Amino acid sequence: MASFVIQGGRRLAGEHHVQGAKNSALPILAATVAVRGPCIIRRCPDLLDVTATLNILEHLGCAVERNGGDVFIDSTQLTGFVIPERLMLEMRSSIVFLGPLLSAMGQAQLSTPGGCEIGERPIDIHEKAMRALGAVVTQEGGKLQCNAGRRLRGTRFALEIPSVGATENLMIAAATAEGMTTIQNAAREPEIADLGNFLNACGAAIHGAGTGTVVIEGVRRLHGAEHTVIPDRITAATFLCAAAVTGGEILLRGAKASHMSAMLNTLEQAGCRLHRTGPGEIFLQANSRLQALPALRTAPYPGFPTDAQAVFMSLAALAEGSSMITETIFEDRFHHIGELIKMGARIRVEGHTAIVEGVAGLRGCEADACDLRAGAALVVAGLAAQGETRVSNIRHIDRGCARFELELRALGADIIRN
């Protein structure tokens, strides 16, 4: 198993170009299954999850070509609607092939998806949403069989939880359903708006994507289009935290600050100096010791993102004072805490809240990346720690952070993959 080996204590300084958003690229690539014509998706990040998605597309008979960050897909000659378990288990977002397959093939056979071990992660809302559109959905022994009949029919559907994936499945399936669909309590993440923009570029009639209410007028067919994926707000924040914990400075290019308000406000609260130096640019300086985060709670967008909870806990572990970090989205997303404590962090957990007493310094150690965001958080902690930190199981990190060690080395970090 590959690891990252970090010699900590070096101040990061320099520029970082933000990668395309993993959680936008994945549903958009899946949505091309519902498009009858060639698509070019630009700024696709170089990630294991993108490769896994392209493998599924090829398995379904799509023509796929990758040229750096540009991916060419033509789903005109789809040959199948079954995604085998070995491909489904690669990641959670494989479930977002459900809507596209029902749209394109009228049926789908998937197994329950894989993904980070951060909670039970049921797919009940996805199933209810497809049934609301008229599909017959049965699940047996982890296998999902769905049949849309002649054509899905528009509906009004209120999500009990603003599920990102379920909103995406609904938008894609409803885009070619007969009649109007209204989604209430839809997820409002920027990645949802990006998917809506892609589908509309393909001829869909989607209004309000990125807000709590999405109205979709079904069209007969979707045609090919070109689309550039939005910047990844989570990896952008990860690099800001890496500079912050090392008392450094960083200029992000190709960022979208308006997608990062909750995280940028939190960094300022921690004592970082942030400047918008130009379009797509965010400059951060953190010369003095960071201040604690007294009441940080994750929430659906535009609240503080659950995907940034782990890396901000690494920052809190080194801040002056006591921080309280509450995870409200996933029931088991504190795997990084045990590893941070091994590095000398002082953290105790009460229910879904972690109380973090900041310490002046952490010490390097052997740590395990148990999921993508926890792994990235441990690397960030290792950059600030004294001595050597070895983070193992970095395949998790490679799922979501492109060229992670290369980008950090370009900022002055002493990190190698071995």
Give catalytic residue positions: 116
Say how far apart CA 63 and CA 38 lie, in whole Å.
9
Count of CB atoms situated within 10 Å of the CB of 414: 14
Structure tokens at 75: 């789903």
User: Who contacts 170 (Cβ-Cβ below 8 Å, separation ≥6)?
Assistant: 99, 129, 133, 157, 181, 183, 186, 214
Angle in degrees, CA 44, 47, 49, rounded to 5: 100
* Nearest residue relative to ligand EPZ (C-beta): 165
Span of 55-63, 162-170, 319-327, 385-393 interacting with ligand EPZ by CB under 6 A: 162-170
CA distance 248 to 287: 6
Residue 302 as a binder of ligand EPZ (CB under 6 A): the answer is no
Residue 239: which residues within 8 A CB-CB, separation 6 or more?
Answer: 16, 18, 250, 252, 407, 411
Contacting ligand EPZ within 393-412 (CB under 6 A): 400
Give least dist CB 402 to ligand EPZ, A.
Answer: 13
Could you tell me which of 251, 184, 237 has the C-alpha nearest to residue 380?
237
Q: Indicate whether 20 belongs to the interface with ligand EPZ (CB under 6 A).
A: no
If the CB atoms of residues 294 and 302 are measured against ligand EPZ, the closer one turns out to be 302
Which one of 146, 372, 384, 394 is in contact with ligand EPZ (CB under 6 A)? 372
Residue 93 sits in the site that holds ligand EPZ (CB under 6 A): yes
Helix (H, G, I), strand (E, B) or coil at 232: coil
Taking CA 415 as the corner, what is the angle to CA 409 and CA 418, rounded to the nearest 5 degrees?
125
The single residue among 30, 193, 262, 329 that binds ligand EPZ, judged by CB under 6 A, is 329
Binding segment for ligand EPZ (CB under 6 A), chosen from 32-40, 120-128, 202-210, 335-343, is: 120-128
- Closer Cβ to ligand EPZ, 56 or 116, answer by number: 116
Give the span between the Cα atoms of 208 and 216, in whole angstroms: 9
Using CB under 6 A as the binding rule, whether residue 98 contacts ligand EPZ is answered as no
Q: What minimum distance in Å lies between the beta carbon of 232 and ligand EPZ?
A: 9
Token output for 336: 């990084």
Contact residue for ligand EPZ among 373, 378, 385, 404 (CB under 6 A):
373
Residue 284 near ligand EPZ by CB under 6 A: no
**How many residues touch ligand EPZ (CB under 6 A)?**
26
Per-residue x/- mask for ligand EPZ, residues 192 to 231, rule CB under 6 A? Answer: ----------------------------------------
- Does 327 participate in binding ligand EPZ (rule CB under 6 A)? no
The one among 30, 78, 102, 125 contacting ligand EPZ by CB under 6 A: 125
Q: Given the rule CB under 6 A, which of 63-71, 122-130, 250-258, 346-354 is the region that contacts ligand EPZ?
A: 122-130
Indicate whether 126 belongs to the interface with ligand EPZ (CB under 6 A). Answer: yes
| DSSP symbol at 303 | S
23 near ligand EPZ, rule: CB under 6 A = yes
Q: Decide if residue 130 touches ligand EPZ (CB under 6 A).
A: no
**Residue choice 10, 66, 121, 143 for contact with ligand EPZ (CB under 6 A):** 121
Of 223, 212, 169, 134, the C-alpha closest to 26 is: 169
Tally of CB atoms within 10 A around 114: 19
Q: What is the dihedral of CA 378, 379, 384, 388, to 10 degrees?
A: 100
Residue 259 DSSP class? G
- For the bound state, the minimum distance from the C-beta of residue 301 to ligand EPZ, rounded and expressed in Å, comes to 7
Per CB under 6 A, 161 contacts ligand EPZ: yes
Give yes or no for residue 166 binding ligand EPZ (CB under 6 A): yes
What is the side-by-side order of every strand in the sheet holding 136-140? Answer: 107-111, 143-147, 136-140
Least CB distance to ligand EPZ at residue 396 (A): 10
Contact (CB, 8 A) for 292 and 269: no
Closer CB to ligand EPZ, 16 or 188, in the complex: 188
Contact 395, 376 (CB under 8 A): no
Q: How many CB atoms lie within 10 A of CB 88?
A: 23
Angstrom distance (rounded) from CA 310 to CA 392: 17
Residues that bind ligand EPZ (CB under 6 A): 22-23, 26, 92-93, 116, 119, 121-126, 161, 163-166, 187, 306-307, 329-330, 372-373, 400
